């Protein structure tokens, strides 16, 4: 039932939200809508979405309407989802749309390298693996000597290099290369070099080739003999994603150019085994999605668990994980007029951050010339801040407390007495929809134009319900700054109370009063709205009916 169903929204790109032509719905479901007591038009309209290429039957619309609870998989993804699907809740501020967010986390024991697990077990509190979601568990990371953390990382890095060399030999043999190139693969990658990792699903919005935006600048970065840099790529595209496959081909072709050979490596047939080596053995984890299209991303969380700093667009989980001390950001938290401008700005940020911050810090060694203490500090900050916040234990606790238990409670209540509550809610909604067009609200003009911060401002409104019982509605003052498009950016709600009747035996013509107190200076939009209320409704704006004044 809807009362105990949770829907998690997908990546905000068309490929992440299936939609089908009505002809396909007719072909496969022509016998189905009758079983539901519906005709074709009502069945189609229930999941209809207007898309640039025409209306289609949207599985996301269907899921949102059939689910009492919904969430995105990061804070930013929740914001994007509320904006993306707000057409389903007309006349409702985006911040009130019932799509919450729980950021994805990763399973610590699956993705933690053995070398790091042994190190953590020596310095973290006893039983730490049972409390990975607790930030206090990770405070002892600061007690790990820099030399020990760096040595553990170097073991992981050496393992990665040997692993890539073995894979490269098999890869070259499969491609039919001669013995000279196969033998040369045994010296592939430089253990001294700053090693950047990029591995994930190759989709166009993830921009795997952003690093190649300025080839001359990249050549200078990778061919500095004093501060060598190398990049390891891996990943797969969806079988039907030709554009994603083309990106893989481009990366591979770049890796074969003389200036990049041996400094850019593509590891074929990406899988969990390759991922485990990469997220523990590289020095930096690179992620370049086109903001804000990355729903969450978890590969960077896996790298952070192993002390690998992220170097990423402020999208998905990194938008809330980055704190200025635990890695580096690419670009800004903003939107651009077009994708070309965004690519140019992000590429500039990527190169300049590498040149001015990341590379110098990595090669700045201590007095003995072996341990980069400034870099290790970043590694420790990465572990301490990201390991608890982006653990699966934290994620499951959040889902349980915010969704699973509330959904179980409402589901049980709706199921009782042969679905009596569900039937009552359905009848209530049906009656409201028949009568709601007659509801009218009129705000009495304010008597003041300017007020001081914190000063009480009285508000009155007249409401005509035309037969709807007064206890089935809520009247609220809504105050908010206004965005350029007229959207209420941060609505604050203040309930109003019944302050008398204007006559009428059915309760029509009611006078409501309330007050608000501005908390900030500047212009403020003030409105009054009336919305339905039922003690068993799942969220305040259900059933998606509202009148504004």
368 φψ region: left (φ > 0), alpha (ψ -120 to 50), beta (else): alpha
Q: Specify the pLDDT at position 1.
A: 82
**Count of CA atoms in the C-beta half-sphere (13 A) of 98:** 21
When pLDDT is averaged across residues 160-179 and rounded to a whole number, the result is: 89
The edge-to-edge listing of strands for the beta sheet with 440-444 is 440-444, 457-464, 510-516, 497-501
The predicted pLDDT at position 505 comes to 43
| Res 423 pLDDT > 80 | yes
Is the domain of 443 the same as that of 357? no
Specify the pLDDT at position 334.
Answer: 82
Residue 80, domain member (yes or no) = yes
The answer to whether position 298 is within a domain reads: yes
Domain that holds residue 514: 439-548
Q: DSSP readout, 475-529?
A: EEEEEE-B-TTS-BSS-EEEE-EEEEE-S-TTS-SEEEEEEE---SSS--EEEEE
**Is residue 271 situated within a structural domain?**
yes
| Token pair belonging to 186 | 């045994």
- 60 and 176 fall within a common domain: no
Tokens linked to 178: 């001669």
CB 156 within 8 A of CB 149: no
Beta strands in 382-470 (DSSP E): 440-444, 457-464
| pLDDT reported for residue 78 | 96
**pLDDT confidence of residue 508:** 57
* 131 domain-assigned: no
Residue 152: inside a domain = no
Q: Do 6 and 45 lie in a common domain?
A: yes
145 domain residue, yes or no: no
Strands 284-287 and 310-313: parallel
Query: Which CATH number does the domain housing residue 290 bear?
Result: 3.40.50.2000
Least confident of 45-54, 295-304, 446-455: 446-455
Whether residue 407 is found in the same domain as residue 371: no
Q: Could you tell me if 168 and 316 lie in one domain? A: yes
221 and 312 assigned to the same domain: yes
70 with 13, same domain: the answer is yes
> Is 142 inside a domain boundary?
no
**Edge-to-edge order in the sheet of strand 69-72:** 6-8, 69-72, 100-101
| Shared domain check, 370 and 245 | yes
Q: Are residues 378 and 472 in the same domain?
A: no
306 shares a domain with 206: yes
The pLDDT of residue 325: 97
pLDDT at 473: 94
Query: What tens digit of pLDDT does each residue of 249-280 get?
Result: 999 999 999 999 999 999 999 999 999 999 99
Which pLDDT value is given to residue 175?
81
- Given a cut of 50, is residue 323 above it in pLDDT? yes
Q: Tell me, yes or no, whether 268 and 413 share the same domain.
A: no
C-alpha angle with apex 172: 168 to 178, nearest 5 degrees? 135
- Checking if the pLDDT of 10 tops 50, the result is yes
Q: For residue 463, give the CATH number of its domain.
A: 2.60.40
Model pLDDT for residues 93-110, shown as the tens digit of each residue: 999 999 999 999 999 999
Give the model's pLDDT for residue 506: 44
What pLDDT, on the 0 to 100 scale, is given for residue 45? 96
pLDDT digits (tens, 9 = 90+) for 458-511: 999 999 998 899 999 999 999 988 777 777 888 899 999 998 876 544 445 899
- Say how many domains are in the chain: 3
Mean pLDDT, to the nearest integer, of 180-192? Answer: 84
* Helical axes 215-222 vs 339-353, angle rounded to 10°: 20
Full-model pTM:
0.92
Q: Tell me the average pLDDT across 110-119.
A: 98
Tokens found for residue 547:
């009148």
Are both 327 and 213 inside the same structural domain? yes
Mean pLDDT value across the chain: 93
Cα–Cα distance between 36 and 27 in angstroms, integer? Answer: 17
**pLDDT at residue 369 tops 80:** no
CB 494 within 8 A of CB 476: yes
Percent of the chain with pLDDT over 90: 80
Q: Is the dihedral of CA 112, 117, 121, 126 positive or negative?
A: positive
At 481 the pLDDT is 84
Task: Please check whether residue 130 lies inside any domain of the structure.
Answer: no
Element (H, E) at 264: strand 264-267
In the predicted structure, residue 524 carries a pLDDT above the cut 90: no
The pLDDT value recorded for residue 499 is 87
Neighbours of 42 (CB within 10 A): 11
Worst-scoring range by mean pLDDT, 76-85, 229-238, 273-282, 540-549? 540-549
């Amino acid at each position: 039932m809807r009362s105990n169903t949770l829907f998690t929204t997908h990546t905000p790109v068309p490929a992440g939200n299936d939609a089908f032509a009505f002809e396909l719905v007719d072909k496969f479901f022509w016998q189905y809508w009758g079983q539901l007591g519906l005709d074709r038009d009502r069945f189609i309209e229930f999941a209809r979405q207007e898309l640039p290429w025409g209306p289609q039957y949207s599985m996301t619309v269907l899921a949102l309407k059939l689910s009492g609870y919904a969430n995105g998989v990061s804070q930013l993804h929740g914001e994007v989802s509320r904006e993306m699907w707000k057409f389903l809740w007309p006349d409702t501020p985006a911040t009130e749309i019932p799509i919450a967010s729980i950021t994805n986390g990763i399973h610590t024991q699956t993705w933690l390298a053995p070398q790091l697990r042994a190190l953590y077990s020596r310095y973290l509190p006893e039983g730490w693996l049972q409390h990975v979601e607790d930030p206090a568990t990770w405070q002892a990371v600061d007690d790990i000597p820099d030399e020990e953390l760096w040595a553990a990382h170097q073991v992981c890095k050496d393992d990665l290099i040997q692993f890539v060399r073995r894979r490269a030999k098999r890869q070259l043999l499969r491609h039919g290369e001669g013995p000279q190139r196969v033998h040369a693969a045994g010296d592939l990658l430089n253990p001294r070099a700053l090693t950047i990792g990029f591995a994930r699903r190759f989709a166009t919005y993830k921009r795997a080739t952003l690093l190649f935006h300025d080839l001359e600048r990249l050549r200078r970065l990778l061919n500095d003999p004093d501060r060598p840099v190398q990049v390891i790529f891996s990943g797969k595209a969806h079988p039907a994603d030709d554009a994603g496959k083309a990106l893989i081909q481009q990366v591979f072709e770049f890796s074969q150019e003389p200036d990049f050979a041996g400094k850019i490596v593509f590891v074929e047939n990406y899988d969990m085994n390759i991922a485990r080596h990469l997220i523990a053995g590289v020095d930096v984890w690179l992620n370049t999605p086109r903001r804000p299209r990355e729903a969450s991303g978890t590969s960077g969380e896996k790298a952070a668990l192993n002390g690998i700093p992220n170097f990423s667009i402020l999208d998905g989980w990194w938008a809330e994980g980055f704190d200025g001390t635990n890695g580096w950001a690419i670009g800004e938290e903003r939107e651009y007029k077009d994708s070309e401008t965004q690519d140019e700005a992000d590429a500039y940020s990527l190169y300049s951050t590498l040149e001015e911050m990341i590379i110098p810090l990595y090669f700045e060694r201590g007095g003995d010339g072996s341990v980069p203490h400034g870099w290790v500090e970043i590694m420790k900050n990465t572990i301490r801040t990201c390991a608890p916040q982006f653990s699966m234990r934290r994620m499951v606790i959040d889902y349980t407390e915010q969704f699973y238990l509330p959904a179980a409670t409402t589901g049980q209540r709706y199921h009782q007495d042969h679905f009596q509550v569900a039937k009552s809610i359905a009848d209530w909604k049906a009656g409201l929809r028949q009568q709601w067009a007659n509801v009218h609200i009129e705000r009495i003009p304010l008597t003041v134009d300017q007020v001081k911060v914190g000063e009480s401002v009285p508000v009155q409104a007249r409401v005509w319900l035309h037969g709807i019982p007064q206890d089935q509605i809520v009247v609220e003052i809504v105050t908010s700054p206004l965005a350029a498009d007229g959207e209420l950016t941060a609505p604050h709600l203040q309930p109003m109370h019944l302050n008398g009747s204007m006559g009428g035996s059915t309760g029509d013509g009611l006078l409501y009063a309330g007050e608000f107190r501005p908390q900030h200076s500047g212009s403020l939009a003030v409105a009054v709205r009336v919305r339905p209320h039922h003690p068993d409704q799942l969220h305040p704006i259900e059933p998606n009916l509202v009148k504004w004044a």
